[in-house]
Structure 1
Amino acid sequence: MDDGFGKWISCSCKFIKELLSENVHVGSFPLESSSLESFTLVFTYNSDPCHFSISGEKLAEISIEWENSQASSSITKSLNAYTPNLKYFKWIGNLLNYQNLGKFMRLEKAHIFLKQKGDEYDFDNAFEVLCSFYRVKSLVLSGRLLRYCSGKVPCMPHWMVLPGCAY
């Protein structure tokens, strides 16, 4: 599927509030919506390149479940998001090759549960995602990710330093 579906939603669905995309195989999925409040992307194995671009002033919730551990690392997969009012963010599974998430200034809750990609965890890429959480009230991380961040980062970001916790 080409980028026509995302463009169609952007142009024709002016009052859409919620969008669930489950195993939609796309090369490119650009989505701009002034009404969208919730976007869920559920994706299992796909060997094709795919690029998602999500933009929305009212978008308050993004949930991503990406299970693609067997895909070749040479196949490019990316996500760009412009969601300045995002409140809830959840990512379960594998990361993509590239995530450009901007700065989440109003984030209330974030969950990051990464799965192993082959023999490795992509923690460097995960740390880039965490740096998007400029302000977050509640952060839930997998234990492995928290141990990685505390062991590899000489000075943890101010939002990750929790009183009474040992790192």
Structure 2
Amino acid sequence: MRIFLPGLLLLANSAAVSACPEGSETLISCTFKDGVRTLTTCLQGEQATYVFGRPGRQPELEMKRDVRDVDMTPWPGIGGSIWEEAIFSNGNVRYIVYYSLSKDPGARFPMEAGVIVEQNGEELAHLRCDAGSVDSGYPLPLFDAKVAAGQVYSLETGQWE
């Protein structure tokens, strides 16, 4: 059974929350609250997916988007960490999935990540990934996929054109 909402595809018979499917690349994935919930974002060709929920169960939220419809903020090349964001939208709700890699060689957990949920610009939730559970890194393959799809990132405006 499939339920279509504007820009959102929910698969009622979809696979349980897990790692990215074979043939796809991980964007940012991790666990929350000692593994109680999992976030997996993947890239396969021109499709990016966002899957959130309890491991081994049906996803609580699953989105599949064309890479042109997933916003991305690439690392600007400065600062004490390397970071990027992938932004999945569902109506007026944005899911800002991010990672940050500390340049400090002494950092105990140099990789941090999470998801910020916003509605109409107001933060509804900020979930931080469990330490040591983050699978990601610079550069996200989403940047190259967006370029391959004909988009250009403007450093001046911070927007994809």
Q: Larger Cα Rg: Structure 1 or Structure 2? A: 1
TM-score (norm 2): 0.27
Q: Larger RCO: Structure 1 or Structure 2 (Cα < 8 Å, ≥ 6 residues apart)?
A: 2
- Name the one with the larger strand percent: 2
- Name the one with the larger helix percent: 1
